[in-house]
Amino acid sequence: MSSHAARRRVARRPSRAITRRRRLALVAVAVLLGALCAALVSGLGKEAVNELGALPLRHDDIIRQQAADKDLDPALIAAVIYEESRFRDQTSHAGARGLMQITPQTADAIARHSGGTRFKQSDLAEPQINISYGAYYLRLLLDHYGGNETLAIAAYNAGMGNVDRWVREAGGASEFKSAEHIPFPETRAYVENVMDRRGDYRENYSEDLGL
């Protein structure tokens, strides 16, 4: 080998500093992957997966508590939260707030009926309060419509006044059919989506929801 070729070969060989940096980078990647795997196995990792997945679930402890307290299906509460907010705290253009998108008027009415004398609108940002009030409203709607879940879910979206009118026009609750008697496309889709997601939550999160 000529001296010129030998010099070229030496020039191509990575320096010790570069080699050391590459090794440190590989170690860092390995540590990061190991931490991610550990997080996925831990409860924190499970929460992250549930939150980022196609079907998120958060605050399942509050959902279980409120379902037991209000005699509701926890999967129904989870499905309403998903449809309303995708489990993200937010405020709509109409002023509905929090995970279950409670309007100020509805929140004030629930506070009066439930004895929440210290309630203020900013409390709706708290998951415990928001889910508690949303579950209270669901229970009220189910009682109002004799346990008819379709009517209760429709009223959660469109209001009791609209649903009461639709029921009268249909000739009674027993004659009511979503596809025929709900004139709002948004509400028809809302009812269908909530019922579908309820089944999904029961299938995928039965243990988390205490089912």
Residues marked active site are found at: 84
- Tell me how far apart the terminal alpha carbons of the chain are, to the nearest angstrom: 76
The neighbouring-strand residues paired with 97 are 91, 102
Tokens of 55: 């079907």
Strand, coil or helix: 23: helix
Q: What are φ and ψ of residue 18, in 5° steps?
A: -65, -45
Among 85, 86, 99, CA closest to 56:
86
